[in-house]
Amino acid sequence: MEDKQKETAEFEQTENAETYVEADQTAGSEPSDNEGETAETTEEQQRISELETNLADTENRLLRVQADFENFKRRTREDNAAQLKYKSQSLLTQLLPALDNFERALDVKVEDAQAASVLQGVEMVYRQLLEAMKSEGLEVIDSEGSAFDPNLHQAVMQVQDEKYESNVVVETLQKGYRLKDRVIRPAMVKVNQ
Amino acid sequence: MEDKQKETAEFEQTENAETYVEADQTAGSEPSDNEGETAETTEEQQRISELETNLADTENRLLRVQADFENFKRRTREDNAAQLKYKSQSLLTQLLPALDNFERALDVKVEDAQAASVLQGVEMVYRQLLEAMKSEGLEVIDSEGSAFDPNLHQAVMQVQDEKYESNVVVETLQKGYRLKDRVIRPAMVKVNQ
């Protein structure tokens, strides 16, 4: 709410700056017209005309710098917000292959008790890792059973399966991930024709 | 190199701005002195004095805004650099407890082949995770055998052991980590008295 008011204020200031420029250009050219007409220009009048032009120029420059400054501040605020929002992207992207391998390692079938106990221990670690990544905004992209979406899915295989509707994702070959609203890795999928 | 030149340019501008302010304050007060002395002030002279004051004020404001703008730009550059440098800190800090648990899970002694094979698989995952974290600037803090340093180590136990020198870290109870030059978790250690 407050931000919106600021934005409006900035916009008005820029508008004013432009209006000012035009007005001052007219003002600046006036003295020379008078000069021709009256031919009575004293030293003082010349000084006044000089000062008026100079003042108008300086005021214009001030308004321009102020407008530039406000624009720069607004852009900086926007850039910072984006940088903050996606700050974990680089580390998350690097962790994804390890996460894939973790899932593969947990997928083995074991028979003996000791192996099962080891698996159980590292499965807890896997869940803890995933939770930490999710708390920074990581989300798994839904794929199996969803309609194929080229923004979220990368089709690496096509099948013909009457059990599914056309253009539906039949199987996920590699999970896809989003960081908040940004896809950082599309899901690799098998799609029904 | 280019950045350094910019910095110098900014500094000079700020310096000029200050010099300017002083000069203009003197200039601004002159007309009123003359007014008192000559008592011949015509309408034009009054207008000139008015314009001069106005011009000096506007010039001062312009210089101040320019200096503020330059300072803001410099600060923004510095803030951005810091934000970029430590951008992964929040995710890394959240991953550390999972990394601790991973190490504990890998520390079990197993006898049978299947359990050993499971362990071997997840150990590769552990190394891959750690490499990804290191590539973003994570570093393990040296502790065992090092002199105790309160900036890097948190002493949670004291021992008396003649094998070690005084004030030396005898054992690490929990690994400490740095992100580049910043300690994000001190090592919890046992120190020799």
pLDDT grade for A51, boundaries at 50, 70 and 90: very high
Helix (H) or strand (E) holding A65: helix A43-85
Contacts (Cβ under 8 Å, ≥6 apart) of B24: B56, B59, B60
Ranges of each domain in chain B = 2-85, 89-192
DSSP label at residue B112: S
Task: Give the separation between CA A193 and CA A165, rounded to whole angstroms.
Answer: 8
Report the gap between the CA of A74 and the closest CA in chain B (Å).
12
> Does B129 contact chain A (CB < 8 Å)?
yes
Quick one: tokens of A192? 């029904």
Contact B136 A68 (CB under 8 A): no
Report the gap between the CA of B21 and the closest CA in chain A (Å).
15
Q: Which of residues 145-184 of A touch B (CB under 8 A)?
A: none
Q: CA angle A140-A146-A149, nearest 5°?
A: 80
Q: Are B183 and B151 in contact, with CB atoms under 8 Å apart? A: yes
Cα pseudo-dihedral B116, B118, B121, B124, rounded to 10: -70
pLDDT higher than threshold 90 for residue A190: yes
Contacts (Cβ under 8 Å, ≥6 apart) of A111: B114
Backbone torsions φ then ψ of A148, nearest 5 degrees: -65, 130
Closest by Cα among B30, B19, B32, B31 to B60? B19
Helix, strand, coil shares, percent, chain B, to 5? 65, 15, 20
pLDDT, mean of residues A150-160: 95
Burial class of residue A170 (count of CB atoms within 10 Å of its CB; 0-12, 13-18, 19+): buried
Specify the 3-state DSSP secondary structure of B60. Answer: helix
* Domain formed by A89-192, architecture: Roll (2.30)
pLDDT higher than threshold 90 for residue A30: no
In angstroms, the first-to-last Cα distance of chain B is: 49
Residue percentage of chain B with pLDDT more than 70: 79
How many distinct helices (H) and strands (E) make up chain A?
4, 6
Task: Give the separation between CA B25 and CA B4, rounded to whole angstroms.
Answer: 32
Backbone torsions φ then ψ of B60, nearest 5 degrees: -60, -45
Contact A87 B92 (CB under 8 A): no
B170: left (phi over 0), alpha (psi -120 to 50) or beta: alpha
Shortest CA distance from A76: residue in chain B:
B76
Which is higher by pLDDT, B5 or B174?
A: B174
> Does A86 contact chain B (CB < 8 Å)?
no
pLDDT higher than threshold 50 for residue B13: no
Helix (H) or strand (E) holding A185: strand A182-185
In angstroms, the first-to-last Cα distance of chain A is: 49
| pLDDT of B43 | 85
Contact A119 B124 (CB under 8 A): no
| pLDDT of B103 | 96
Contact B114 A119 (CB under 8 A): no
Interface test with A, best of B83, B91, B124, B138 (most A CBs within 10 A): B91
| pLDDT of B41 | 63
β-partners of residue B54 are none
Over chain A, what is the mean pLDDT?
84
> Does B110 contact chain A (CB < 8 Å)?
yes
Contact B94 A132 (CB under 8 A): yes
pLDDT digits (tens, 9 = 90+) for A60-75: 999 999 999 999 999 9
CA-CA distances (angstroms) from residue A52 to A26, A171, B46? 12, 76, 14
Lowest mean pLDDT segment, chosen from B85-89, B108-112, B137-141, B176-180: B108-112
Contact A80 B83 (CB under 8 A): yes
Closest by Cα among B91, B176, B19, B65 to A65? B65
pLDDT digits (tens, 9 = 90+) for A83-111: 999 999 999 999 999 999 999 999 999 88
Report the gap between the CA of A159 and the closest CA in chain B (Å).
32
Could you identify the residue written with the tokens 């805004």?
B65
| pLDDT of A88 | 97
pLDDT, mean of residues A31-59: 75
Q: Are A124 and A130 in contact, with CB atoms under 8 Å apart? A: no
pLDDT higher than threshold 60 for residue B11: no
| pLDDT of A44 | 86
Backbone torsions φ then ψ of B176, nearest 5 degrees: -105, 155
pLDDT higher than threshold 70 for residue A50: yes
The residue length of chain A stands at: 193
Quick one: tokens of A185? 């890795």
- Picking from B52, B65, B88, the nearest residue to A91 by CB comes out as B88
pLDDT digits (tens, 9 = 90+) for B14-53: 444 443 444 444 444 444 444 444 545 688 889 999 999 9
Q: Which of residues 14-43 of A touch B (CB under 8 A)?
A: 42
| pLDDT of A49 | 92
